[in-house]
């Protein structure tokens, strides 16, 4: 029975060579791995979930105050049934919020990374939301160090390529499904756009990943594990050595469909000016370069946001 492995990231310090090999193999096979032993306090995760649930429970007109029309949902609130998976006819059954990186407003990236907005109604939303953003950002940079070593890059290769990354923390609310035979799913099959995604809260059923054999494999986590998967930008940069695999959130076929589902992915992006051309270390006779055009991560992001109807 195939299963996406769970690896304890503390082994990066105690058992590095074996950990890096196992992690690299998990990503080459599935594009996904579950990471435990990360040290993000349970209180921070629970506190953030609590703040997010309080926000989604507000009246629609209150939430819509934080919807910035024409921004592609880069910050603030995106209402139910707006985002649509690429090539899908039906909008996803979800509403969400975006928290971005806090950067100095005189930064060279200020024009593409707008300031955050925070809901005044939820007093600890900013503290909890940004606390979780920073914790997942740090964990993501640790995972990328191991991924760098696995493909013979220097350990800190990615550090200066993500320190101003246009990353997003996205609390999602999938409301209870009350209609029978609804054609929409909670999140249609898609690949992520960014470098890597760290998902807190995959303990609820529904998340499935497409295997190489073309079968949908359910992922549910145990204990403190966080699901970490490869996005299209890292797939491009590594010439598909690390694959960005299709995944979806299906509607439960039991009473859980009538319960709300919450999840919080952190989309770790490179800095907007990073060029996503395949790295020489990933180009071989068996795996020749798959791209003959150059593109920056920001250009790539805009191209993809247009496809999923967010801009």
pLDDT (0 to 100) of residue 249:
81
How confident is the model at residue 81, as a pLDDT? 66
Ranges under pLDDT 50 in the chain: none
pLDDT at residue 79, as a whole number: 87
Task: Give how far the C-alpha of residue 191 lies from the chain's centroid of Cα atoms, to the nearest Å.
Answer: 10
Q: Is 37:8 a contact under the CB 8 Å cutoff? A: yes
- What's residue 290's pLDDT? 97
Residue 234, both tokens:
């890292």
Quote the tokens at residue 22.
Answer: 């196992």
Question: What single DSSP character describes residue 275?
Answer: B
pLDDT of 235 reads 97
- CA dist 289 and 161 (Å) reads 21
| Per-residue pLDDT, 176 | 78
Q: What is the pLDDT of residue 305?
A: 81
- Measured at the alpha carbon of residue 117, what is the angle toward residues 132 and 188, in degrees to the nearest 5? 65
Decide: 130 and 258 in contact? Cβ < 8 Å.
Answer: no
């Amino acid at each position: 029975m195939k299963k996406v492995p769970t690896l304890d990231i503390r082994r990066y310090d105690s058992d590095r060579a074996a950990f890096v090999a196992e992690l690299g193999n998990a990503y080459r096979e599935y594009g996904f791995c579950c990471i435990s032993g990360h040290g993000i306090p349970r209180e921070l995760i629970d506190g953030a979930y609590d703040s997010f649930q309080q926000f989604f429970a507000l009246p629609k007109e209150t939430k819509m105050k934080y919807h910035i029309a024409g921004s592609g949902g880069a910050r603030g609130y995106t209402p139910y049934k707006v985002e649509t998976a690429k090539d899908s006819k039906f909008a996803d059954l979800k509403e969400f919020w975006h928290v971005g990186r806090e950067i100095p407003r005189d930064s060279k990236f200020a024009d593409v990374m707008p300031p955050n907005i925070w809901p005044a109604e939820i007093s600890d939303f900013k503290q909890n939301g940004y606390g979780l953003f920073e914790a997942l950002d740090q964990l993501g940079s640790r995972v990328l160090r191991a991924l760098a070593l696995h493909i013979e890059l220097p350990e800190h290769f990615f550090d200066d390529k993500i320190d101003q990354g246009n990353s997003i923390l996205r609390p999602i609310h999938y409301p209870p499904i009350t209609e029978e035979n609804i054609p929409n799913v909670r999140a249609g099959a898609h690949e992520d756009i960014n470098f890597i995604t760290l998902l807190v809260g995959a303990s609820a059923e529904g998340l499935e990943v497409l295997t190489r054999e073309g079968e949908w494999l359910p992922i549910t986590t145990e204990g403190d594990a966080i699901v970490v998967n490869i996005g299209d930008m890292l797939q491009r940069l590594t010439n598909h050595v690390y694959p960005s695999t299709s995944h979806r959130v299906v509607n439960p076929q039991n009473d859980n469909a009538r319960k709300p589902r919450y999840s919080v992915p952190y989309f770790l992006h490179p800095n907007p000016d990073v060029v996503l051309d395949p790295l020489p270390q990933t180009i071989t006779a068996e795996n020749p370069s798959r791209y003959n055009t150059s593109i920056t991560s920001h250009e790539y992001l805009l191209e993809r946001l247009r496809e999923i109807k967010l801009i």
